[in-house]
Chain A
Amino acid sequence: MTLWNAVLLASIVCVGLKAIGYLIPPKVLEAPRPARVADLLTVALLAALVAVQALGVGQGVVVDARVPALVVAAGLLLLRAPFLVVVVAAAATAAVLRLWGWAA
């Protein structure tokens, strides 16, 4: 499959999911179990993506400048900094550590 096909297929699935929600009778949401699973699914996927983006390099696990950058991001989130500030500060941390040769 080409990257273009993947972009289109994933997009169509996501649009379809939004549309499906308008067709399901709202009663289904009142059942706690599917609602809870949908909620926790988001948490698990995002947390796994944090871990893989911060530590993964292909099939390896490597601790490098991304880890201190993530610590800076977490600190800013604790201080309720906005999204863009958090992301830019993390990038700057990693970039500076690499520039100075303090981390790979």
Chain B
Amino acid sequence: MQARRATREGLGVALATSAYGVSFGALAVASGLDVWQTCVLSLLMFTGGSQFAFVGVIGAGGLAAIPAAIASASLLGVRNVAYAMRMAPVIGGPVWRRAAAAQFTIDESTAVALAQTAPRARQVGFWVTGIGIYVGWALSTLIGALLGDLLGDPRAYGLDAAAAAAFLALLWPRLRERQAIVVGIAAAVVATLLTPVLMPGLPVLIAALVAIVVGVFNWFAAPGSTGGFVEPDDVPEREGLP
């Protein structure tokens, strides 16, 4: 019974998330990747925030920004370490099962799994969401990439604005605590101020230092809060990123 509800939830989240693979595909092609490179990102990297960051930095800085693009994508992938640590005891079973689970460990699958209470329902929620998004995201990326190839000048269609909006939508559900809001604003200001003086890609990386400094010293924390890892409760239901 609970497993059936987890299945339903997982499929719903997978459907909603897969839909915006189209926007990733189109943006990636507009940033200068070819259709195959775009699809490899969705099949192999398979973590939306990192994928959007990679193509965003390449789009801004071209081939010279490759090191910064790799670094941005990798840093955004760091949160998956925390998700994987959460999921390890939930997945359980033999080693091969956890090895298979690794690639499907993303915001949505973790959130749907942890939203269930029964151990079996947690596993069902994880696998249905993870595999469902993997398949849907790959297909919609291909569609978006092919469409993007046909469109021509990306600015005429507002695709550059779409990229900014995509990052804002990914950021939005994370801006609940005062600490996160302060870090977000400070990082945006730092990145903007450094844009004219550094090569494209680097301002984003240096802005990330804001998070490390604030996080280590726990500045701006709400009174009584110890900070710590916040589970992405309603992130997938609304707009989570794979």
State yes or no: do A and B come from one complex.
Answer: yes
Majority SS of interface residues in chain B?
helix
15 residue pairs A–B, Cβ–Cβ below 8 Å? A13-B73, A14-B80, A28-B85, A37-B215, A39-B174, A39-B228, A42-B211, A45-B76, A47-B185, A51-B189, A59-B198, A59-B199, A84-B23, A91-B159, A92-B158
Which A residues contact B (CB, under 8 angstroms)?
1, 3-4, 6-15, 17-22, 24, 26, 28-29, 32-33, 35-56, 58-61, 65-66, 69-70, 73-74, 77, 80, 82-84, 86-96, 98-99
Chain A residues, CB < 8 A from B99: 19, 22
A66-B45 in contact given A14-B73, A22-B98, A38-B82 (Cβ < 8 Å): no
Please tell me the size bucket of the interface on B: 35 or more
Q: Are A26 and B85 in contact (CB under 8 A)?
A: yes
A2–chain B nearest beta-carbon distance, Å: 8
Contact partners of A45 in chain B: CB under 8 A:
49, 53, 72, 75-76, 187, 204, 207-208, 211
- Residues in B whose Cβ lies below 8 Å from that of A28: 85
Partner of A69, one of B47, B161, B169, B174: B161
Using known A-B contacts A22-B88, A90-B164, determine if residue A35 contacts B229 with beta carbons closer than 8 Å. Answer: yes
Closest to B228 in A: A32
* Interface residue B146 (Cβ < 8 Å from any Cβ of A): no
Asked if A43 and B16 sit within 8 Å, CB to CB, the answer is no
A26 to B105 CA separation, bound complex (whole angstroms): 15
Q: List 3 A-B pairs, minimum CB-CB distance, nearest first.
A: A21-B84, A94-B158, A90-B165
Residue on A nearest B76 in the bound complex, by CB: A45
Among B41, B101, B239, the one with the most A-chain Cβ atoms within 10 Å of its Cβ is B239
Smallest CB gap from B181: residue in A: A43
Chain A nearest CB from B64 CB (Å) reads 10
B88 and A77 contact, CB distance less than 8 A: no
